[in-house]
Amino acid sequence: MDDQALLRYSRQIMLEQIDIDGQERLLASHALVVGAGGLGSPVALYLAAAGLGRLTLADADEVELSNLQRQIAHATADLGRNKAESAREAALALNPACTIQAITAHLDGASLAQAVAEADVVLDCTDRFSSRYAINAACRAARVPLVSGAAIRFSGQLAVFDARDPDSPCYACLYPPDDSGDEALSCAESGVVAPLVGLIGSFQALEAIKLVSGAGTPHRGLSTFDGLSGQWRHFGVPRDPACPVCAAY
């Protein structure tokens, strides 16, 4: 790190749990962010600002007027642009030293497997069950830790699934694929209050920074937040020995 980098990241470097070594690990790390919407916006901005060396942002959608209420990486002038491109530009404005690739196609199958395998950590910022299961399976196969977030209406949740840890459950242990819960509803159908995606996305970015810098211990279990009461709840999530995804590993 040169003097400018030491100054830019000084408030993290002064944390004994991160220090110079942890910041160097952040700068050498590569995060894959799938989805550049409500969750992906704060994730991309915070990871770039915090000094993640390399980000890959994937989103096939275009910025729409109804997104701007909460997807803070996109501005009014970005209407109609691809979300991954728009978020890349916003993150680069914060930190031009970050290497950022925008993937404007929907990640699936081989393209998803390749993008996951190239990353040190994956952040699931999508809002569809099908995407969540595909990302979870790819992370499990490549043994890359997954930070999963979700937000709808006034409720949010966060979980970390670390395939490198033999005791860690996976997303399918928590939500068996035949189970269709509340989360299957999209923000377009159900609505979401603006800062909730910022809260959960920031939580995801924090866990990713911890995973790659080595600070603290990764989040365990499932945390849920009810914005109407302001209450967090925490649940243990056991690994399912019959899980269709991770029992094979």
79-118 mask for Zn ion (x: CB under 5 A)?
----------------------------------------
155-194 mask for Zn ion (x: CB under 5 A)?
---------------x-xx---------------------
201's tokens: 């996305």
Minimum distance of Zn ion from residue 171's CB (angstroms)? 7
Contact between 152 and Zn ion per CB under 5 A = no
CB nearer to Zn ion: pick between 175 and 225? 175
Contact partners, residue 61, CB within 8 Å, separation at least 6: 37, 82, 83
∠87-92-97 over CA atoms, to 5°?
Answer: 145
Minimum distance of Zn ion from residue 234's CB (angstroms)? 19
Q: Which of residues 43-72 bind Zn ion (CB under 5 A)?
A: none
User: Do 161 and 211 touch, CB atoms closer than 8 A?
Assistant: no
Closest CA to 47 of 75, 12, 86, 79: 12
Minimum distance of Zn ion from residue 21's CB (angstroms)? 33
Closest CA to 218 of 228, 210, 229: 210
**CB atoms inside a 10 Å sphere around CB 121:** 25
CB nearer to Zn ion: pick between 34 and 173? 173
**CB atoms inside a 10 Å sphere around CB 19:** 16
Count of residues near Zn ion by CB under 5 A: 6
Minimum distance of Zn ion from residue 148's CB (angstroms)? 12
Residue indicated by tokens 């991160």: 18
Residue 123 CA, distance from chain mean position:
3
Q: Which of residues 218-247 bind Zn ion (CB under 5 A)?
A: 243, 245-246
Residue numbers at the binding site for Zn ion (CB under 5 A): 170, 172-173, 243, 245-246
